[in-house]
Chains A and B, each alone.
Chain A
Amino acid sequence: MKLILKYYPLLLLLIFGACEQPEETLFQLLPASESGITFENTLTETDSLNILDYLYFYNGGGVAMGDINNDGLADLYFSSNQGKNKLYLNKGNLKFEDISESAGVQGTSSWNTGAVMVDVNGDGWLDIYVSAVVGINGFEGHNELFINNQDHTFSEKSAEYRLDLQCYGTSSAFLDYDLDGDLDFYIVNHAVHTQESFGRAQIRNVRNEKTGDRLLRNDGDTFTDVSEEAGIYGGVNGYGLGIAVADFNKDGYPDIYIGNDFHEDDYFYINNGDGTFTESLKQYFGHTSRFSMGNDVADINHDGWPDLISLDMLPEDDEVIKSSEGDDMYQTLKMRTQQYGYHYQYSRNMLFTSQQGNSYLETALLSGVAATDWSWSALFADYDLDGEKDLFISNGIPKRPNNLDYIKFISNEQIQRSLNDSRLIDEKALQMMPSGKVANYFFKGDGQLHFENVSQKWSSAQPGISGASALGDLDNDGDLDLVTNNINESASVYINTTNGKANYLKIELAYQGKNTKGYGTKIYCYANGLMQYQELYTVRGFQASSQPLLHFGLGNLLKVDSLQIVWPDRSEQILKDVGVNQNLLVSHKNTHPSIVKAVSNDPLFRKVDDNLGIDFVHREDNHTDFNYQKLIPYEVSDRGPCVAIGDLDGDGTDDIMIGGAKDQPAQVFIQNTDGFQRIDYPELIADSIYEDVTAEIALQEKSNTYSIFVGSGGNVISPSVKVLDDRKYKIEGSQLKKENFNTDLVNTGIITSWRDLTFIGNYTSPLDFGKIPTSYLLKEGKILQSFEALGMITNAIWDDFDEDGQMDLIVIGEWMAPKFFKNMSGKFKEVHPLKEKLNGLWQAIIPFDIDSDGDMDYLLGNWGLNSKFSASSNAPMKMYYSDFDGNGTTETILTIERNGKYYPLLGMDELAGQMVFLRKKFNTYEEFAGKTIEEIMGDALQKAQVFEVHKLASGILRNHNNTFTFEAFPGSLQISPIKEFVKMDFDGNGKEEVLAAGNYFGVIPFHGRFDSFPGAMIYGDRQYQLGSELGLNLMQKSVRHLKIIKISSKPYLLIVYNNNKAEVYEINP
């Protein structure tokens, strides 16, 4: 005893010395004991009311932040699902007083949801609107409107304003959609009907009083339901959870984005400016989150256009992912989109960056914000005041109802009967569901599409269940604080401790008429050459409203050069040289009409309406690789169409041959004076059974005639016809003479010729992904060299890379590094100029002296970084290839590294669907989840062949005296696989540029859809411009080839897509 006592002080010292002093986090949680904010959204589960009976039992209450007594201090209002709502008056110094009872705002509805502070009657005092769920589960009451009496009391007047709705309310938003000066009202309601059957998407047209969203117009003293005439969907399938209001297309009228849960599409309502909206989701977004929850809007990349995040529930932790329900099966999604009329939806957060309001890049995976678990609220703001938008995401659910083992458990026959017969089992059923407590996420933005997860650095908050959240400046110190409404725990108040370490500008607005806070006002803040853009709407995140202010972080800048304020009435005023670190109140005065900036109307490309007669639509056949090889990482049968340009008729002009998919004939377009004319060669029609994937028109020097080489793919084996043979067509008069060659049973990757040499790069063996075919070099049609197991060849170029005057060959492919073959007087010998491991999923290559230093660099198209794949030299992505179950058919298993160990990317159902023995090995999903590939496959892994990928980024092979190093392109060029490059002097400045394009859809729903890369012009080192700014429209289309065709020496850009119509663009019109 004595001994211990004696050394006690020393021991203490040791303990403190051992653990590092915890770094001060950016946010400090304000304890309820100090603040007085003791509100807790306590849920009481009963036999008849729980997650088993009411699907949104765990969605939580609401929170609103705003100054209800105009004392300059932001107050807080919390709605409680089952209890009394609370209003806390901010007394300064972060002390709050509960005045709920005296203020008369506790509410009377059985089940309260979203809470909003808004000046409904335009008297300059914030009122409070609370949504309710009424009409199910015995819930009574109605939405409540607490009108501010300007004396710390409120009167419930929803009936007077006709806002006493009785539906299944989630949240509401106030906006002046008709720009008549007062605030109108949109309510998001949620469906509860079972999601048993999708039904067709069109059922959203049939209005349901309880579940349908509504738009109500402010007619002075009352509100009028105008949903139908305004074009608002109100169907029984509208699982509305999220709402974002912004002028997305910047035409001056506010637009609305609604996030719908489950299979119902999100709605993107474009305001037509005439009192109506047009739902336009499919036009603007290639895909969306599936279980859409909260969302938020901000300009994250300083281009002055509002960007959007929509939340979902993909977990970050592998163990949770693999024991939770995942995405749809391939065929299910295909049916839901093609037959039932729904859009593409995938279960993860989606981050959309606006392309001048015309379309959106979706970069959540690239940006690092795709997986934040069961997420409710997103709030963009510059939390660390460095001038860049950061992101807060609240999340958590008391019980995870999508846990696969739980679903299996309650599917048990006895449990099932008890569930139906009595309520006794409910308690047990609820206990079986695993907890979904998760710590909230903080991300630090860099202004260039990347967000760093700083959750640990910025907050020490423990895992919990946070839903609705609001932001504002509770302590008036110029940085933004956060408040979340939590389930079964007291509300979290995150106090920002930036406290003067960086500069800011806080702006409140005093607008005219009844829109006193100036909702819809846009501010452009210019400082030190950087523009920040914000638009004021307070309903953000989820079931909440934030403080009505605009807030700009300015780092160490000491002044704002100018502030451009554009009011809802399209008048504007400009303030110059505004000092930082102040709370600026801007009133609507000294305004002048806003001049709408004309968008540059002379883009580099302009679509040619009649396509110059090149009328070709590629129609992919119904073949689905995943039905045959269920575990392959991507499809191999969708590489077409091919296109070749050459002077087929010998008249000195460019002619075109475009290959067809299986059952579609290739087509030849001959150029004449009026454009192009299609020639239907019976030989090509007869050969429509081939899937054409690569083509080359080559001059036969001896005869001075042209031949067309066509390579076949399609990944099928036909018993009767050798559909994988490659073909050579020679034009003889009006006929084509055909000759088969490269008759190996393989999918061809590339055929390319130089003089009398032809390289045939073979891609894969049909229905045996992982078996590497032989590639060939032909001279005058005869095999000059065979390349055994060269790789899964996708592309090749002839280029004298060592500048010795002899034409060399560079070959690229998947699961391999670019290979260089040096021409040594007619023999091609592999040399190794790469100085690092560069296995990639290479698709495209082009020589381009990007740094203008006189030697040739190469641009390489790869998979990109916006995916669930991950790879590096130290931790390559690995694919195991073997007949694991010994049934005579091979399988592939894709694995990625996490913390030094390798895990299969797919879950138990997918793997066991192919390898049944796994079902016997793992009885529960929990047993499988978190297991490494070695633990899962055991000894079977030993005999497998292993393929690796070290690089997924597209980028540059930079030439340093004939050795090459790789540099990745910037993020905006990593959004999708890059499938093709083309080079010419597009802008006529005397120097060549490279146009890159891609997008790819041949992956299972787990991966989503790479549909939002708009193409990019590469001018030089770090000089890039996206295609959406150049007049190109490549979104939602999967480019296969870009070709320059000349018509009377004027160049045009021909683009062929997989499964779409070919397009022609005029260049530099």
Chain B
Amino acid sequence: MRSIHKTILLFVLPMILAGCQKSEPIVITSTDFQNEVDKVTEIMIHDIFSPPVASRIFAYPNIAAFEIITQSDSSYRSLAGQIKHLSPIPKNEDPLVNYQLAALIAHMDVSKSVIFSEERMESYRDSLYQVWGKQNESEFEASKNYGLAVADYIKKWMDSDNYKETRTMPKFTVITEDPSRWQPTPPSYMDGIEPHWDKIRPFVLDSASQFKPTPPPAFSLEKESPFFKELSEVYNISERITAVGDDSEEVQIAQFWDCNPYVSVTRGHLMFATKKITPGAHWIGIAEIATRDSKSNFNETVYAYTKTSIGIFDAFISCWDEKYRSNLIRPETLINQHIDENWKPILQTPPFPEYSSGHSVVSGASATVLTNIFGDNFKFLDDTELPYGLPIRTFSSFNKAAQEAAISRMYGGIHYRAAVENGLQQGISVGNLVNERLQMKVE
């Protein structure tokens, strides 16, 4: 008996081992990358990051992945030397490396370091690691080693962007004496978020204030002043479309583009938050749709995501720089004080100064970059908000979507017209600069 057992073992064991070694090449597709970014987006919603911080979480992992792509695909050019203080990533020496796999692994690793709930990222990663390890252990190990080395390199560079230092910089001090200054808004009256985002190192911008928009109309409570007219306009639009109800096109537009990661809700005895994606995440979602619709391959997909996220990142720096410069009061505060004490905006006012509109700047920048990649008149069905119970909307171009996103903030009752119109322009300027400066693809 014993000897038979031994014999079987002697036969079977090598077979098993051989089976493991009989490996196939690992194939990574654009879908794998899209899924990975979706995963990061999901964790970001869970962890709750403010819109500027979210833009940073998208950008660095994408850049890590893109830089690896440029090592193997000569149609792409490294960002080293093109964006601030990035020098060339370590070269790969191992012929077994699958660059696309390494890019995906680097993306996961950089992502893990910037979100809070690491265990969520880890369990996702480990399940993929297991599959790849089984498919081709040596290829996987080689790619992993390279991917992680590049991730470490990118993280080191990332750590010098002043993000860490801004965490302990002073909170924003509310100026109560000046009626034009921003005040915390209902219902949570949160402190102003990220007052030092202008100190984050941009990728492409020369400085945070490079595209400083023209100032908003001078604050005035005189009925005939341009400022007060804009204030009344927000109130009047809101009253008009609220009267029509939730079916009103404007209300639907406002809700579609809400993209507020933290909306406070009161129910019964409870006060909690509903969580959604950020404006940046919405445009990353549109980038995903564009890569899907255009049947982009893996490398094209990484390129599109990376360039879009660079635009979004710099757009937030540009916008936040202006927000805490003009430090303008939100319509909700003024309308409650001077027009209608019980008025509430359709969207919840987010916790930072009004001017300029973040969603407008980011949408302007994103649409400009995406148009540059995929061309104008790129018609698409935007299903990004489907998981949050919102319908699909159709757009004839990225720019049309950006225009709608911008005006949605007025419909939502959280921005004046100047913030929306000048904000959109500010974003387009950022996008154009990204398009001009960055030579990421050899045409």
Q: Which residues from chain B contact A410 at a C-beta distance below 8 Å?
A: 270, 272
Scan residues 264-299 of chain B and give those whose CB is less than 8 A from a CB of chain A: 264-276
Listed residue (B117, B164, B342, B387) with the most chain A CB atoms within 10 angstroms of its CB: B164
Q: Which residues from chain B contact A417 at a C-beta distance below 8 Å?
A: 388-389
In the bound complex, do residue A197 and residue B187 qualify as a contact, i.e. CB atoms below 8 Å apart? yes
Listed residue (A58, A200, A401) with the most chain B CB atoms within 10 angstroms of its CB: A401
In the bound complex, do residue A888 and residue B170 qualify as a contact, i.e. CB atoms below 8 Å apart? no
Q: Which residues from chain B contact A197 at a C-beta distance below 8 Å?
A: 186-187, 344
Chain A nearest CB: distance from B407 CB in Å? 26
Q: Which residues from chain B contact A53 at a C-beta distance below 8 Å?
A: 267-268
Which of B22-30, B32-40, B57-65, B171-179 interfaces with chain A? Answer: B171-179
Scan residues 352-374 of chain A and give those whose CB is less than 8 A from a CB of chain B: none
Q: Which residues from chain A contact B269 at a C-beta distance below 8 Å?
A: 51-52, 55-58, 401-402
Q: Which residues from chain B contact A50 at a C-beta distance below 8 Å?
A: 268
Bound Cα distance A200, B338 (Å) = 13
Q: A325-340 vs B: 1/0 string, CB under 8 Å?
A: 0000101101110110
Q: Which residues from chain B contact A582 at a C-beta distance below 8 Å?
A: none
In the bound complex, do residue A413 and residue B388 qualify as a contact, i.e. CB atoms below 8 Å apart? yes
Q: Which residue of B lies closest to A199 (CB)?
A: B341
Q: Which residues from chain A contact B388 at a C-beta distance below 8 Å?
A: 413, 417
Tell whether A200 pairs with B341 under 8 Å between CB atoms, given A195-B266, A628-B170, A889-B168: yes
Q: Which residues from chain B contact A623 at a C-beta distance below 8 Å?
A: 173
Chain B nearest CB: distance from A668 CB in Å? 27
Bound Cα distance A407, B265 (Å) = 11
Chain A nearest CB: distance from B168 CB in Å? 4
Q: Which of A55, A339, A412, A628 contacts B183 (CB 8 A)?
A: A339
In this assembly, does B184 line the interface, its C-beta being within 8 Å of a C-beta of chain A?
A: yes
Chain A nearest CB: distance from B24 CB in Å? 37
In this assembly, does B165 line the interface, its C-beta being within 8 Å of a C-beta of chain A?
A: yes
In this assembly, does A481 line the interface, its C-beta being within 8 Å of a C-beta of chain B?
A: no
In this assembly, does A920 line the interface, its C-beta being within 8 Å of a C-beta of chain B?
A: yes
Q: Which residue of A lies closest to B186 (CB)?
A: A197
In this assembly, does A919 line the interface, its C-beta being within 8 Å of a C-beta of chain B?
A: yes
In the bound complex, do residue B176 and residue A338 qualify as a contact, i.e. CB atoms below 8 Å apart? yes
In the bound complex, do residue B167 and residue A916 qualify as a contact, i.e. CB atoms below 8 Å apart? yes
In this assembly, does B141 line the interface, its C-beta being within 8 Å of a C-beta of chain A?
A: no
In the bound complex, do residue A888 and residue B184 qualify as a contact, i.e. CB atoms below 8 Å apart? no
Given contacts A331-B171, A622-B176, 9 further A-B contacts (CB under 8 A): A195-B271, A196-B264, A401-B268, A401-B270, A413-B388, A630-B171, A885-B168, A887-B164, A888-B165
In the bound complex, do residue B116 and residue A887 qualify as a contact, i.e. CB atoms below 8 Å apart? no
Q: Which residue of B lies closest to A194 (CB)?
A: B266
Scan residues 139-189 of chain B and give those whose CB is less than 8 A from a CB of chain A: 164-165, 167-168, 170-177, 183-184, 186-187, 189
In this assembly, does A411 line the interface, its C-beta being within 8 Å of a C-beta of chain B?
A: yes
In this assembly, does B118 line the interface, its C-beta being within 8 Å of a C-beta of chain A?
A: yes
Interface residues on A, range: 35 or more
In this assembly, does A571 line the interface, its C-beta being within 8 Å of a C-beta of chain B?
A: no
Q: Which residues from chain A contact B420 at a C-beta distance below 8 Å?
A: none
In this assembly, does A624 line the interface, its C-beta being within 8 Å of a C-beta of chain B?
A: yes
In the bound complex, do residue A413 and residue B275 qualify as a contact, i.e. CB atoms below 8 Å apart? yes
Listed residue (B46, B119, B167, B168) with the most chain A CB atoms within 10 angstroms of its CB: B168
Q: Which residues from chain B contact A402 at a C-beta distance below 8 Å?
A: 269
In the bound complex, do residue B184 and residue A411 qualify as a contact, i.e. CB atoms below 8 Å apart? no
Q: Which residues from chain B contact A203 at a C-beta distance below 8 Å?
A: 341
In this assembly, does A110 line the interface, its C-beta being within 8 Å of a C-beta of chain B?
A: no
In this assembly, does A1024 line the interface, its C-beta being within 8 Å of a C-beta of chain B?
A: no
Q: A611-653 vs B: 1/0 string, CB under 8 Å?
A: 0000000000011101110100000000000000000000000
Q: Which residues from chain A contact B167 at a C-beta distance below 8 Å?
A: 885, 887, 914, 916
Q: Which residues from chain B contact A419 at a C-beta distance below 8 Å?
A: 267
Scan residues 490-530 of chain A and give those whose CB is less than 8 A from a CB of chain B: none
In the bound complex, do residue B171 and residue A923 qualify as a contact, i.e. CB atoms below 8 Å apart? no
In the bound complex, do residue B275 and residue A891 qualify as a contact, i.e. CB atoms below 8 Å apart? no
Bound Cα distance A419, B271 (Å) = 14
Q: Which residues from chain A contact B270 at a C-beta distance below 8 Å?
A: 51-52, 401, 407, 410
In the bound complex, do residue B389 and residue A622 qualify as a contact, i.e. CB atoms below 8 Å apart? no
Q: Which residue of B lies closest to A767 (CB)?
A: B170
Scan residues 396-425 of chain A and give those whose CB is less than 8 A from a CB of chain B: 401-402, 407-408, 410-413, 416-417, 419-421
Q: Which residues from chain A contact B118 at a C-beta distance below 8 Å?
A: 920
In the bound complex, do residue A332 and residue B189 qualify as a contact, i.e. CB atoms below 8 Å apart? yes
Write the residues of chain A forming the contact surface with B, with a CB cutoff of 8 angstroms. Answer: 50-58, 194-200, 203, 329, 331-332, 334-336, 338-339, 401-402, 407-408, 410-413, 416-417, 419-421, 622-624, 626-628, 630, 885, 887-889, 891, 914, 916, 919-920, 923
Bound Cα distance A200, B186 (Å) = 11
In this assembly, does B45 line the interface, its C-beta being within 8 Å of a C-beta of chain A?
A: yes
Tell whether A51 pairs with B268 under 8 Å between CB atoms, given A196-B186, A626-B171, A627-B170: yes
Q: Which residues from chain B contact A401 at a C-beta distance below 8 Å?
A: 268-270
In this assembly, does B233 line the interface, its C-beta being within 8 Å of a C-beta of chain A?
A: no
Bound Cα distance A407, B262 (Å) = 13
In the bound complex, do residue B274 and residue A411 qualify as a contact, i.e. CB atoms below 8 Å apart? yes
Pairs A–B under 8 Å by Cβ, sample size 22? A51-B268, A51-B269, A52-B270, A54-B268, A57-B269, A199-B341, A203-B341, A331-B173, A335-B184, A401-B269, A407-B270, A407-B272, A411-B272, A411-B275, A413-B276, A413-B387, A413-B388, A622-B175, A626-B171, A885-B164, A914-B168, A923-B117
In the bound complex, do residue B176 and residue A339 qualify as a contact, i.e. CB atoms below 8 Å apart? yes
In this assembly, does B191 line the interface, its C-beta being within 8 Å of a C-beta of chain A?
A: yes
Bound Cα distance A419, B270 (Å) = 13
Q: Which residues from chain B contact A408 at a C-beta distance below 8 Å?
A: 272
Tell whether A887 pairs with B46 under 8 Å between CB atoms, given A332-B189, A411-B275, A627-B170: no
Chain B nearest CB: distance from A293 CB in Å? 13
In the bound complex, do residue B45 and residue A413 qualify as a contact, i.e. CB atoms below 8 Å apart? yes
Q: Which residues from chain A contact B191 at a C-beta distance below 8 Å?
A: 329, 331-332
Scan residues 116-131 of chain B and give those whose CB is less than 8 A from a CB of chain A: 116-119
Chain B nearest CB: distance from A887 CB in Å? 5
Bound Cα distance A589, B262 (Å) = 69
Chain A nearest CB: distance from B334 CB in Å? 13
Bound Cα distance A628, B119 (Å) = 32
In the bound complex, do residue B175 and residue A412 qualify as a contact, i.e. CB atoms below 8 Å apart? no
Q: Which of B119, B170, B171, B273 contacts A411 (CB 8 A)?
A: B273
Q: Which residues from chain B contact A194 at a C-beta distance below 8 Å?
A: 187, 266-267
Tell whether A55 pairs with B165 under 8 Å between CB atoms, given A198-B186, A411-B275, A923-B117: no
Q: Which residues from chain A contact B265 at a C-beta distance below 8 Å?
A: 416
Q: Which residue of B lies closest to A407 (CB)?
A: B272
Chain B nearest CB: distance from A54 CB in Å? 6
Scan residues 186-210 of chain B and give those whose CB is less than 8 A from a CB of chain A: 186-187, 189-191
In the bound complex, do residue A335 and residue B271 qualify as a contact, i.e. CB atoms below 8 Å apart? no
Q: Which of A51, A338, A420, A891 contacts B168 (CB 8 A)?
A: A891
Q: Which of B164, B184, B387 contacts A331 (CB 8 A)?
A: B184
Q: Which of B171, B176, B264, B344 contacts A335 (CB 8 A)?
A: B176
Q: Which residue of A lies closest to B46 (CB)?
A: A412
Q: Which residue of A lies closest to B188 (CB)?
A: A332
Q: Which residues from chain B contact A195 at a C-beta distance below 8 Å?
A: 187, 266, 271
Q: Which residues from chain A contact B45 at a C-beta distance below 8 Å?
A: 413
In the bound complex, do residue B173 and residue A887 qualify as a contact, i.e. CB atoms below 8 Å apart? no
Chain A nearest CB: distance from B353 CB in Å? 14
Q: Which residues from chain B contact A420 at a C-beta distance below 8 Å?
A: 389
Q: Which residues from chain A contact B116 at a C-beta distance below 8 Å?
A: 919-920, 923
Scan residues 371-412 of chain B and give those whose CB is less than 8 A from a CB of chain A: 387-389
Q: Which residue of A lies closest to B332 (CB)?
A: A197
Q: Which residues from chain A contact B264 at a C-beta distance below 8 Å?
A: 196
Chain A nearest CB: distance from B177 CB in Å? 7
Q: Which of A196, A891, A919, A923 contacts B266 (CB 8 A)?
A: A196
In the bound complex, do residue A624 and residue B266 qualify as a contact, i.e. CB atoms below 8 Å apart? no
Chain B nearest CB: distance from A42 CB in Å? 20
Across the A-B interface, the 4 shortest Cβ-Cβ residue pairs: A197-B186, A627-B171, A196-B187, A194-B266
Q: Which residues from chain B contact A196 at a C-beta distance below 8 Å?
A: 186-187, 264, 266, 344
Bound Cα distance A57, B268 (Å) = 9
Chain A nearest CB: distance from B125 CB in Å? 16
